[in-house]
């Protein structure tokens, strides 16, 4: 389970209990290869305790070294029966809420992802922690080939 983000807003549901939510990404029970968002609610009578826990969890998340902060996203608009852009629109809010910046590129033709990665400068590429493909097999192959060319060159 990977903690995605913690809601900073503490909700007062009654005068006796204050709650906050921790949002995580975990594997689907039905389809273990799929990742799904989950929400866990926690509560305490003291709002300051909730605030302290939220601040501590947020600090832990922000201090994670391998946590991506900037991603380049290639979207194949025709993948998934033409739902590529809609699929991205469904998951984009998760990236926003997790404070992950994204540069989204809608591919316009075969080889677009490859050409983009092959032509981008090293300085520009180093701004990104990773590349995401919303997805078609040709994009994945192009990304793999572009990575191989950059590694050799």
Distance between CA 134 and CA 86 in Å, rounded? 10
Q: What is the pLDDT of residue 49?
A: 92
- pTM (2 d.p.): 0.68
pLDDT in tens, 38-95: 888 888 888 899 889 989 988 888 888 778 889 999 998 877 777 788 888 888 888 8
Assess whether pLDDT exceeds 90 at residue 102.
yes
Q: Which CATH class is domain 70-145?
A: alpha beta
Residue 101 makes CB contacts below 8 A (sequence gap 6+) with 69, 70, 71
- Provide CATH 3.40.50.10330 ranges for the chain: 70-145
């Amino acid at each position: 389970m990977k903690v995605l983000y913690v809601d900073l807003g503490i909700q007062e549901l009654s005068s006796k209990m204050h709650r906050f939510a921790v949002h995580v990404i975990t594997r689907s029970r039905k389809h273990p290869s799929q990742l799904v968002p989950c929400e866990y609610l926690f509560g305490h009578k003291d709002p300051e305790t909730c605030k302290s826990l939220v601040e501590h969890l947020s600090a832990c998340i922000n201090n994670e070294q391998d946590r991506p902060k900037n991603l380049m996203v290639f979207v194949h608009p025709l993948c998934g029966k033409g739902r590529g852009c809609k699929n991205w629109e469904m998951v984009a809010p998760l990236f926003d809420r997790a404070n992950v910046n994204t540069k989204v590129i809608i591919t316009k033709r075969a080889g677009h992802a490859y050409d983009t990665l092959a032509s981008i400068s090293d300085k520009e590429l180093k701004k990104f922690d990773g590349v995401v493909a919303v997805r078609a097999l040709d994009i994945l192959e192009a990304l793999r080939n572009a990575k191989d060319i950059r590694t050799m060159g």
